[in-house]
Structures are given as structure tokens and as C-alpha cells.
Amino acid sequence: MAARTGGSAVPRLKDVAEAAGVSVKTVSNVVNGSVQVAEETRARVQQAIDELGYHPNVMARRLRTGRSGVIALAFPELPSPYFAELAVEVTAAARRHGCTVLMDDTGGDPVAELRIASGLGDPMIDGVILSPLGLDQAELVDRERPIPLVLLGEADLGPVADRVHIDNVSAARDATQHLVDQGYRRIAAIGWQDPSPRATAQQRLQGYAEALESAGLQPDPALFPPVRSYFRPDGAAAMRRLLKLPERPDAVFCFNDLLALGAMRAVHEAGLRIPEDIAFVGFDDVEEAEYAIPSLTTIAPDKTKIAELAVSLLLERILHGDSAPSQFLVPGYRLVVRESSRRR
């Protein structure tokens, strides 16, 4: 791709079109987030935009189209590697559609989530992608500004907004079944929350229990100690409780990778070996899972597909009006088998 040469003039749509070998109209469609542009063409235009350092005039676009090309993205736990990695994918998907992403961390606070779901009160925000923890359906229905909205994650808030989520029950069942297939029989689960468990805990515990029951194994409540949150210290604390049982588990399914990494640390500190003494499977396939010692077997949601579906749904809602939300899209996942669960 030929880059524009010359002085320090601010790049224009025409310059981007020449560099990408397309019409000015095509560049405009990409910049304005049109979903009618072929992905190959969109990628070529985006490359030219990046190389030239072109920045659309947001105010001019707002006046011309009624849209700014700015969307908001909010997660409850942005320090979590899973959400950080998914944020990168959402940003990349939005950029491919010519959109800019504003990001926020709600901490699971329903007040913060409602503020995000209402577009932060900012008329420049065209739509929102939100992963809620604390909101309920009534709050979303009554939000101050009914801005286009796509929800991510397990929380089922009814037909309030389009939603993208993986099949957590099926994924947890596959993770536990893998341990059963490896010959483990006293399989614990780390990630249950009590009281008021989040939907993640409910669905992943259901899949875990279904796999055990299918194998003729009775779920033992002593083998799924509750956790406060889903970070490494919580996994380590839960594992230490499991190690104090009269009969310790021979394998553990953790509801996310951070819990698994913390639990594996506790096993190491106890002088036990992984997987010879206790095997592990996590959930999320964060980058750290591959580089842990031993590397962590985990469920890998298709983060790229989750992001693409969320952005595409939101743009459809922004561009094509206010019909009742009805789409619930379920991207895939896969089990990535690594050292932490493989019989040697």
C-alpha cells in the first residue's frame, strides 16, 4: 500500500481513499461504521487510516449522519486478564468498523452500570456494550436514556437488549468431563458464591454437577467451597480449605483461570504435585494459563468472535432503529488440554 508523501498537512478522506485504492464514499462508509463494507476492503481502508494517522472530525460526522462513531464499553472487573483481553478484541472490532471505544470499569456497582447503560449522559456516545453484574431487568427498562445496548455475559435480564454469551453449562460440563475421562473421581469445584451467586457460578456449577452425575459420581457440597470473588487469592484460600478435608480432591475444576492459578499455588506450597496429586482445569484461557508451570488446561471462549458479534449487533441497532431486542448470540469455545490435567 502506497503511503501519502509530502508535507505535514492533515490527512483527508481523499488521501485515505488514494492510499487504499478505493473511493472516497467507501472510506466514508468505513469511518461512519457502515456494516455494508466487505471485511477485506474495510481492513485495507483501516490500514490506510492507521498509516496516515487520519482522524475523522467527530463533530462534523455527528452533524452529517447523526452519529459520532463513539461507543462505550464497560466491564465489572477490568483488572481481570479475561476482561482486559476481551477489551482489546472489542476495540479492534470497533476500529474495523470505523468506531472509537470509550472504556470504563464498573466494579459490578449497579449505579455505575446503569449510568453506563444510559450512555453516561453523553449525547456523543452512540451505543454501549456492557457486561453487567449488579443490574436487574427493571432498572434497564427504566433507564434514563434508552441508548442502543448490547449485553455481554451470563446474566439473563430478559428481552431488554441484545446479548452475546457462551454456553457456560455446556463448557463447564466439558471441562469436568475431561477430568472424568482422565480417570479422576474426587473432583472439586472452585467458584461457587454464597449467598446471591452470580449467574456465572450458577451455570458453571450446573455443568460441573451434570458431568459428575453422568459419570455416576455424586456431587459433594464439601468439594465446592464458596469464594468471595474470582481472583488468585480467592482460589488459593479455597484450595487450602479443600486440602484440609479428611479426603482431599484428586482434581479441581475452577470457574476461571485466576482461581485456578491461585489454587495451583496453594497446592505447590503444600508440597504436592500437579497433576500427579491434584489435576486442574480452568476457564477463560487467559495468556497466563499457557505460561504457568505447569501450563493450565482451560476452556477457551472465542473472544474474537464474542467481540465481533457484540460490535456488529450494536451497529445494527444504531443504524437500523429501535425494533425490540431479540438476538441472543452464542459464540463457540474449545477445551485446551495442557499439562495441569494430562495423565503422565
Q: What are the contacts of 155-159 at 24+ separation with CB within 8 A?
A: 155/198, 155/199, 156/199, 157/132, 159/324, 159/325, 159/326
pTM of the model: 0.81
| Inter-residue contact 260 to 252 (CB < 8 Å) | yes
Nearest to 48 by CA among 24, 79, 83, 75: 24
pLDDT tens sequence across 80-107: 999 999 999 999 999 888 888 999 999 9
Residue 312 is placed in which grid cell?
456488529
Q: What proportion of the chain, given as a percentage, has pLDDT over 70?
A: 90
User: CA 235 → CA 265, 271, 335, distances in Å?
Assistant: 9, 17, 21
Q: What local confidence, expressed as pLDDT, does residue 55 receive? A: 67
Q: What local confidence, expressed as pLDDT, does residue 316 receive? A: 87
Q: Which residues of the chain have pLDDT under 50?
A: 2-8, 59-60, 63
Three-class SS state of 301: strand
Nearest to 342 by CA among 270, 266, 281: 281
| Inter-residue contact 317 to 150 (CB < 8 Å) | yes
Q: What are the contacts of 82-87 at 24+ separation with CB within 8 A?
A: 82/256, 82/257, 82/284, 82/286, 83/131, 85/286, 85/287, 85/303, 86/152, 86/303, 86/306, 86/307
Q: What local confidence, expressed as pLDDT, does residue 169 receive? A: 97
User: Under 8 Å CB-to-CB from 145, ≥6 apart: which residues?
Assistant: 118, 119, 121
User: Under 8 Å CB-to-CB from 12, ≥6 apart: which residues?
Assistant: 54
Residue 68 is placed in which grid cell?
459520532
> How many other CB atoms are there within 10 angstroms of residue 315's CB atom?
25
Single-letter residue type at 209:
A
User: CA 134 → CA 83, 108, 202, 256, distances in Å?
Assistant: 17, 6, 15, 19
> Domains in the chain, start-ordered, CATH in brackets?
13-56 (1.10.260.40), 68-166+302-332 (3.40.50.2300), 168-301 (3.40.50.2300)
Q: What local confidence, expressed as pLDDT, does residue 57 receive? A: 57
Residue 256 is placed in which grid cell?
476461571
- 125 forms beta bridges with 70
- 317 forms beta bridges with none
Q: What local confidence, expressed as pLDDT, does residue 155 receive? A: 80
Residue 285 is placed in which grid cell?
484461557
Q: What local confidence, expressed as pLDDT, does residue 154 receive? A: 85
